[in-house]
Each structure stands twice: as structure tokens, then as C-alpha cells.
Homo-oligomer: A and B are copies of this chain.
């Protein structure tokens, strides 16, 4: 009888999760920064379906997804690396891997999770299943702009000495490291293009950016947008724009200008500037709708209540609206029909139709910041 009851309890326990089968392709997580929690969202239902607590300091937190879109790896500011099970709605593993960390990445095969650290510097690489540390790559500097690249590689850059490192884990054993010096003064962030070919760093210490062609056998720094105005700004820089916000729109990239009320357009093939668009404030994210036809821009404090939408063909602002106080992040549904927007001080995530600009729904959230749909699992460099 005891066996029967145990079995029954076990069965009932399991059944609780099963009552509602939930496929994971349309789920997502919203970072609730103040509370240290993640809100689980369902894109198709336009609803929050759960909350996961206990994630430590989530200021500037970001996350990546496992290939099956079941687990998220959350990179907290406090050096915490948490593995979250979005199906069961719980933290399934957590390690405090450094004193102060700033983002991470997952390898193309989903087996390795890398974390970029400020304190100490360097990058640490973990087994995605167990969070066991597999490699420790010390640097003499804080590291920034850590991304995944095809072929089980991670790419990152050092703030103090301006070097980009490529760590190749394609062979078993210790990673093969390639170091590219002279990337420029104080790189503060970087991105990799969706095809994993071009790595671009933004520079804090000089007026321009630096690109690398990773298809090249021995990639060399390529200076781009030199003297675009970063050094001449007459406005204080309220917030360094996120380079993740760089986006491919048609044959161009769109880039938030540092310290100016404008976005820059550059030719995707030549990386030469092709135009500028005046904006309402200092842009933080300039994000292309997945089809590239429109670019949505949010702004730094104190103008962070507003969004502008720019048409890629004309480079003109075609729509402007005020979702509310402290618009922190935007995430498009993977095929671009909706955009989800974090409005921190309204305590809401707002959902808009990207064709009609109509507001479709509001979801309650506790000081929401980053929004991450599981579709990111299938993309390079996100």
C-alpha cells in the first residue's frame, strides 16, 4: 500500500506539470530588475504565465537560451550564473562564478556557456548541463562584448588594452586562443552580425568603431566611422548605447550615435556611413523589425518616455509615441508582427502591432527591463 501511495503521489506530482502541455517556441522571459525575478511570458496568449524568483542582482542582466528552448542561462551583475527551467518554472542550477559580470553567450551547439567578467577580468566557460567550469580564460582587463561565433567559438574584447580574443573550442581540450591587438581605446561594447561574420566594437576612448572580418584567416582591425562625431559631442552622454541594438535593415546597419540626437546608417558591405536621421533624444537601442523595413528607437533619460519608428527606405521618422515613463527595452516577435516594450516606471510590458502601431495588450510586471523571447535560441550573437 505504501508503494501504491508513493506511486500515486509521484504520479500526481508529475501530473501537475502535465495538465497543460506547453510548447516552448513562443515563450519568453522579462527581467524584473528590482525584485531579482523573471516573469515568464507567452507570446501567443499575450500573457504572463509565471514568475521565477531568487536570481540575485539582475541590474544589467541578460540571458541566452538552450537549443531546445527549455532553459535560460541568466547572467547577473553580481557574478551569478543561473540556469532556469522555464517549463518547470524554477532555478535548476546556480553558481556565483565571479564578483561582477557583464553578459554571456552560448556556443552554437548549445554545450558551452561563457560569462564575461569585470571582477576579476577574463571569461569563464561552463558545461551547459551542469554549470561545471570547463575553462578559465584570465585577461589583464575587464572583458566586454562577449558573443558566440560559428564553430564553437567565443569572441570578446578587453577594455583596458583594447584586444579582441577569439577562443576556439572546436577541438577537445583547452581552447585555442587568437589575440588581435590594436582594436582601439577602451572598447565598451561589441556585436556580431547575424551571420557571425563581422564583429564590431564601439570605442569609449576615441571617435570611431573597429570591425573584424572573422571569415579572414587572420582578422585585422578595420577602423570605421572615424571622426563621426563621438569626440565632438556637446551633449553629456547619459547612457552608452547598446550595440546589441545594431540592426541590419535592408543593406544597411543602423547604429545609435553616442552623445547625439541621431542614428547613423552604414553600408553593410563597405561599413561606410550612408546617412543620419535626427531623433528625439540620445538613442539607446535602434532595433530593426525582423524584416528590416522599420527601425524602432528608444532614448536615454530624461527623454526615455518616447519611441520613434524610422522607415528604412526614406530614413525618415514615420511614427512617434509615448508608451510611458522609462522605456527600457523592446523585443520583436520572431517574424516581426508585434513588439513587446518594457515600460519600467509604469510597471508594465506593452504589446504593439508593428503594422498598425495599435496597442494590443498590457501585462503587469515589476520594474521590467530586458525582454527575451525563446526564438533567440536559434540565432547567432544574441
Q: Which of the residues B25, B88, B170, B197 comes within 8 Å of A25, measured between beta carbons?
A: B25
A166 at the interface (CB under 8 A from B): no
Of chain B, the residue at the smallest CB distance from A311 is B215
Q: Is A337 an interface residue (CB 8 A)?
A: yes
Q: Which of A51-59, A131-139, A286-294, A295-303 sits within the interface?
A: A286-294
CB-CB under 8 A from A68, the residues of chain B are 23-27, 44
- Point out the residues of chain B lying under 8 angstroms from A282, CB to CB: none
| Assembled-state Cα–Cα distance A333/B68 (Å) | 11
Q: Do A18 and B26 have beta carbons less than 8 Å apart?
A: no
Query: Contacting chain B: which of A204-212, A225-233, A271-279, A374-382?
Result: A374-382
Out of B150, B335, B380, which one reaches A379, CB within 8 Å? B335
CB distance from A277 to the nearest CB of B (A): 18
Select A291's contact among B15, B196, B374, beta carbons within 8 Å.
B196
Of chain B, the residue at the smallest CB distance from A71 is B23
Inter-chain CA distance A380–B337, complex, in Å, is 11
Q: Does A234 sit at the interface, judged by CB under 8 A?
A: no
A23 / chain B contacts, CB cutoff of 8 Å = 23-24, 66, 68-70, 87
B contact residues around A269 at 8 Å (CB):
251, 269
Give the interface SS of chain A, mostly helix, strand, loop or mixed.
Answer: loop
User: Chain A 39-69, CB within 8 Å of chain B: the 1/0 string?
Assistant: 0000110000000000000000000011111
Measured CA separation A267–B262 after assembly (Å): 31
In the complex, A181 has a CB within 8 A of chain B: no
A109 lies within 8 A of B67 (CB): no
A197 engages B378 (CB within 8 Å): no
Q: Is the CB of B335 within 8 A of A25?
A: no
A139 to chain B, nearest CB (A): 26
- Cβ of A379: which chain B residues have Cβ within 8 Å of it? 334-335
**When A25-B377, A380-B291 are in contact, do A44 and B87 touch as well, CB less than 8 Å?**
no
Instruction: Say if the beta carbon of A3 comes within 8 Å of chain B.
Output: no
A378 touches B380 (CB 8 A): no
Known: A17-B21, A67-B26, A170-B355. A292 touches B8 (CB 8 A): no
- Inside 8 A of A377's CB, which chain B residues have their CB? 25, 334
**A145–B292 CA distance with the chains assembled, in angstroms:** 23
CB-CB nearest in chain B for A380? B335
Task: For residue A50, give the distance in angstroms from its CB to the closest CB of chain B.
Answer: 15
Is A69 a contact of B24 with CB atoms below 8 Å?
yes
Residue of B nearest to A334 (CB): B378
**Interface contact B25-A70, CB-CB below 8 Å:** yes
Could you jot down 12 A-B contacts, CB within 8 Å? A23-B68, A24-B69, A25-B66, A108-B335, A108-B337, A150-B291, A170-B355, A195-B291, A197-B291, A215-B293, A251-B269, A290-B380
Q: Which 3 A-B pairs have the closest CB atoms?
A: A25-B69, A18-B18, A23-B70
A110 contacts chain B at the CB level, 8 A cutoff: yes
